[in-house]
Chain A
């Protein structure tokens, strides 16, 4: 009997099985193919806007995606570096061979964790409580908790033109019955769609007709605990190219052959990730669209054509690719395809990621309707922690919207549900000024420590960092700049305006053009770069950050107003019927959550609030 069975070895399954084992659960990871552990079937990168911050958060909470990515990428960039600190985010081009290899090594080294190959087709349940899984061949494996992280393999269908092949990515076998069996247990199943662009043989690309995209010339890591392992000058390049009129004409002429437009697809695809035919149809006035060529690995000869996802038949894809500048003679090594798959309705799970209908069943990743490696990993981590907490009867770890992007992600899923694969965006986070790349550890390490996922050593490091930040802030507060000829000279030499009166370094740092490095000219400050950066951000944007915290407090007040679990919405008179239906479905835990449900209007909230006052004296 296992404590925890994780079904699926993708990014969600890796984090879930790892953290459950770390917390001491006897854990089993079942994957269809060990070779595909931590596979990256789509883009060869980890991170990106908002997603990069999620990776930092995973690391701060004791997850492994960041450390593995740091060991396996060949290019890294800080996106939005020219903008404010709140929206900066890392993206690394991860090697599709190295990343899975290091992940598998990491899991194999993890105590309490066993990995086997197998295809899960059913759950063992007793009175709506899960008690293990049943494999394709009928083998029963007992487990006290089960975490489903099956990705696109549940009834996956690969679509290329009018061809429809049952199977997961790489043409692998799919799980045929799992989603049907979940349906029998009372879960709602929805069909979603995503897609991936073609892969091109490197030696057939003429890079001279494209422009280069280089990595940053500054060192970065996702993880808070390791030093950079790469050489700035050894980073690989990506390339930028464009579609043209010819490409667009080929697509328009063949629209009826596309799986999407030919009517062969029933799943709903994501708006932020449209196929190239989608882009041509919806944005007909655009003369060209951007595309990127990215290497997939240093160990094989395949490049990823970002922006060119399509479900056209092979022969049309050939024409489309050859119409691009630099790809006139390109050899397509893998055709683009769309994939349809079954997902559950995330409204049917709790914020702990436990299912509302089947006890001790957790789900994470694409099966919950999300898209992206990082979103999946984040949920896997939370599901793993909460499976442990459930068994040990500890309150679940539920991150709030002002704690982490992970909190935003899960709250959105369980409050709003999703009709399309959900991708994280900075615009989804109302408190993004608090949820920064630079402060992920300051936000989350103590939470991880309290939940047993961060060890004493790493916690100690955090405490020291916090103390150091305060110490430097105090130095800046309590020392004034002396305005003599010598100091004035330094200002002039740096083309900075000389202050008109002596002021504290703290106030001085608030000036837009002022950097903490410059202040080092006048006063001794000893700290690592990340600490100095943290101080600079906190001082410079103090006003805005304070405002964000104030807004967050307002939200927290509504979060404190709990809605009793046994509330019967039929008793609440005068609720609009749409609001009543949504409330019954979501069953929000707090008034704050109720307010975020689309279709629940302010008037419904006041009616509900009056009802709670009357009935429960809340």
Chain B
């Protein structure tokens, strides 16, 4: 059985009151033993009571105590919340007394873990709790929060509901073949329905791209031949934003040279063959090496020198980054222009304070970051979920293809169910009874 745990759940010493939360089988009994006032073991659930916390006949603090009985609580266990005076000393003292009385200090995220294990949160929501605990930016935090309060789960559920209604209809046709009131689903009227589902799934995936931007950031590669000013651009960007310059290896195989937050999105600069090292070294390693890294990048910034004519090497790079999301940046705009170029480009320099503003604005424009900041962020963002949506989409595509092979509807139903199951895995619910419930609630059947 789960033991009883406690923790201070407000920021210590910041607010006018502090809340100490206790959860578990003995929560009510244990706190009742330390509380003068009503007998907490006899009060109604979801009520609040005035009294004192008393230890060895000494009044520790004047408090309000809320009692929540399982299962309608955050952890689905009995919960007691002690509202103590906000000072550090009284709050800590109350906590100490709880610990002395055999209540264990909760580990980080343990209340949420219990909420998940006790079935209060679905898998998708619990994943978001995890994401929240490790979020770096404000947008990441908001994204995770939407996951926790089920907004994302609801979106997936909405698509699942469309699918399950279609399935229930097909099943009614099969199980009650003489029942006239249900529309007969045929190879003729099935494709438009499947296309509608396909569109919903594609929408989820489109949005997911944004979610990935927020949770994983944008990988940026700065490329160009030697001496065009790549390292100074990078240093300029990183310094002026007080970003932490790290040499930490990222989770992927590339090395992230430094990060910069732009409109809540992290730009992660990939070390394109050590461009932060001396130009000499770069020359030795050569342009080819850095081109390899380009493949990894979400955005390529191709740097050219305003003061020099376009060289063959420049053109070679242009050729190599064709098809990538890219910005052509003409550096050293403070010097005389000798360059002639057909592509769209942005100019700037690292000499003046605002010399790179055009570049940043172009990035914001390119990834629609302004809009992102204002969006409701009800987006699927975990890789696991995205892969499952892709799987669901694959099954729906299968179904559509098999219709043209004139496969009977009850077999197409197998593909449709596979899609439904895949989506169910995202939130961790996938069971047959749900289908039967829909079947019987939508159709009037009987003998």
Please say whether chains A and B are actual partners in one complex.
yes
In the complex, A447 has a CB within 8 A of chain B: no
A598 is contacted by which of B117, B405, B428, B431 (Cβ under 8 Å)?
B431
Instruction: Pick the interface stretch among A17-25, A80-88, A120-128.
Output: A80-88
Q: When A86-B410, A425-B436 are in contact, do A309 and B428 touch as well, CB less than 8 Å? A: no
Q: When A272-B440, A272-B445 are in contact, do A79 and B177 touch as well, CB less than 8 Å? A: yes
Q: Is the CB of B118 within 8 A of A576?
A: yes
A416 contact set on B, CB distance < 8 A: 433
In the complex, B244 has a CB within 8 A of chain A: no
The chain B residue sitting closest to A577, CB to CB, is: B118
Q: Is the CB of B447 within 8 A of A433?
A: no
For chain A residues 598-618, which have a beta carbon within 8 Å of chain B?
598, 601-603, 607
A426 contact set on B, CB distance < 8 A: 171, 174-175, 410
Q: Is the CB of B406 within 8 A of A512?
A: yes
In whole Å, how far is A212's beta carbon from the nearest beta carbon of chain B?
Answer: 13
Instruction: Pick the interface stretch among B52-60, B178-186, B232-240, B275-283.
Output: B178-186
Q: Is the CB of A425 within 8 A of B171?
A: yes
A283 is contacted by which of B408, B436, B444, B447 (Cβ under 8 Å)?
B444
For chain B residues 150-186, which have a beta carbon within 8 Å of chain A?
171, 173-181
Q: When A49-B174, A50-B175, A87-B174 are in contact, do A307 and B408 touch as well, CB less than 8 Å? A: no
For chain B residues 205-237, which have a beta carbon within 8 Å of chain A?
none
Q: When A79-B177, A87-B174, A544-B414 are in contact, do A427 and B447 touch as well, CB less than 8 Å? A: no
In the complex, B252 has a CB within 8 A of chain A: no
A577 CA / B78 CA spacing, docked (Å): 13
Q: Is the CB of A84 within 8 A of B123?
A: no
Task: Give the residue among A272, A286, A306, A570 with the most B Cβ atoms within 10 A.
Answer: A272
For chain B residues 390-447, which have a beta carbon within 8 Å of chain A?
405-411, 414, 425, 428-429, 431-433, 435-436, 439-440, 444-447
Instruction: Pick the interface stretch among A163-171, A273-281, A499-507.
Output: A273-281
Q: When A197-B447, A430-B432, A602-B123 are in contact, do A83 and B118 touch as well, CB less than 8 Å? A: no
B2 is contacted by which of A197, A279, A574 (Cβ under 8 Å)?
A574
In the complex, A461 has a CB within 8 A of chain B: no
In the complex, A252 has a CB within 8 A of chain B: no
Q: Is the CB of A290 within 8 A of B1?
A: no
A433 contact set on B, CB distance < 8 A: 411, 414
A522 contact set on B, CB distance < 8 A: none
A290 CA / B444 CA spacing, docked (Å): 10
A286 CA / B440 CA spacing, docked (Å): 15
In the complex, B116 has a CB within 8 A of chain A: yes
For chain A residues 28-61, which have a beta carbon within 8 Å of chain B?
42-43, 49-50
Q: Is the CB of B444 within 8 A of A427?
A: no
Q: Is the CB of B119 within 8 A of A601?
A: yes
Interface residues on A, range: 35 or more
A197 CA / B446 CA spacing, docked (Å): 11
Main SS at interface, chain B: loop
In the complex, A289 has a CB within 8 A of chain B: yes
In the complex, A256 has a CB within 8 A of chain B: no
In the complex, A456 has a CB within 8 A of chain B: no
In the complex, A547 has a CB within 8 A of chain B: yes
A520 contact set on B, CB distance < 8 A: none
In the complex, A548 has a CB within 8 A of chain B: yes
The chain B residue sitting closest to A282, CB to CB, is: B444
Q: When A86-B410, A603-B117 are in contact, do A279 and B1 touch as well, CB less than 8 Å? A: no
A167 CA / B445 CA spacing, docked (Å): 28
Q: When A306-B447, A544-B414, A578-B119 are in contact, do A598 and B177 touch as well, CB less than 8 Å? A: no
In the complex, A177 has a CB within 8 A of chain B: no
Q: Is the CB of A544 within 8 A of B409?
A: no
B175 is contacted by which of A49, A271, A570 (Cβ under 8 Å)?
A49
Bits for A419-433, please: 1 = Cβ < 8 Å to B, else 0: 000000111101011
The chain A residue sitting closest to B3, CB to CB, is: A573
Q: Is the CB of B175 within 8 A of A43?
A: no
Q: Is the CB of B118 within 8 A of A602?
A: no
A283 CA / B414 CA spacing, docked (Å): 29
A50 CA / B436 CA spacing, docked (Å): 15
Bits for A553-578, please: 1 = Cβ < 8 Å to B, else 0: 00000000000000000100111111
Task: Give the residue among B428, B436, B439, B446 with the most A Cβ atoms within 10 A.
Answer: B446
Q: When A544-B411, A576-B119, A603-B116 are in contact, do A428 and B432 touch as well, CB less than 8 Å? A: yes
A570 CA / B2 CA spacing, docked (Å): 10
In the complex, A513 has a CB within 8 A of chain B: yes
In whole Å, how far is B406's beta carbon from the nearest beta carbon of chain A?
Answer: 3
B171 contact set on A, CB distance < 8 A: 425-427
A197 CA / B1 CA spacing, docked (Å): 51
Q: Is the CB of B446 within 8 A of A83?
A: no
The chain A residue sitting closest to B113, CB to CB, is: A574
In whole Å, how far is A44's beta carbon from the nearest beta carbon of chain B?
Answer: 11
Q: When A290-B180, A578-B119 are in contact, do A541 and B411 touch as well, CB less than 8 Å? A: yes
In whole Å, how far is B179's beta carbon from the nearest beta carbon of chain A?
Answer: 7
A286 is contacted by which of B181, B435, B436 (Cβ under 8 Å)?
B181
Q: Is the CB of A84 within 8 A of B410?
A: yes
A570 CA / B446 CA spacing, docked (Å): 43
In whole Å, how far is A380's beta carbon from the nearest beta carbon of chain B?
Answer: 22
B435 contact set on A, CB distance < 8 A: 427
B444 contact set on A, CB distance < 8 A: 274, 279, 282-283, 286, 289
A578 CA / B181 CA spacing, docked (Å): 38
Q: Is the CB of B446 within 8 A of A307?
A: yes
In whole Å, how far is A242's beta carbon from the nearest beta carbon of chain B?
Answer: 9
Bits for A453-485, please: 1 = Cβ < 8 Å to B, else 0: 000000000000000000000000000000000
A309 contact set on B, CB distance < 8 A: 446-447
The chain A residue sitting closest to B171, CB to CB, is: A427
A273 contact set on B, CB distance < 8 A: 445-447
B123 contact set on A, CB distance < 8 A: 602-603
Q: Is the CB of B446 within 8 A of A274?
A: yes
Bits for A179-205, please: 1 = Cβ < 8 Å to B, else 0: 000000000000000000100000000
A42 CA / B447 CA spacing, docked (Å): 10
A279 contact set on B, CB distance < 8 A: 444, 446
CB pairs A–B below 8 angstroms (15 shown): A49-B175, A86-B410, A197-B447, A274-B446, A290-B181, A292-B178, A426-B171, A426-B410, A427-B175, A427-B436, A433-B411, A512-B407, A547-B414, A576-B119, A598-B433
8 further A-B contacts with Cβ under 8 Å, apart from A85-B408, A309-B446, A427-B436, are A83-B173, A83-B174, A278-B446, A426-B175, A432-B410, A512-B405, A574-B117, A576-B117
* Residues of B that sit less than 8 Å from A by CB: 1-2, 76, 116-119, 123, 171, 173-181, 405-411, 414, 425, 428-429, 431-433, 435-436, 439-440, 444-447
5 closest residue pairs by CB, A with B: A84-B408, A512-B406, A283-B444, A427-B171, A271-B440
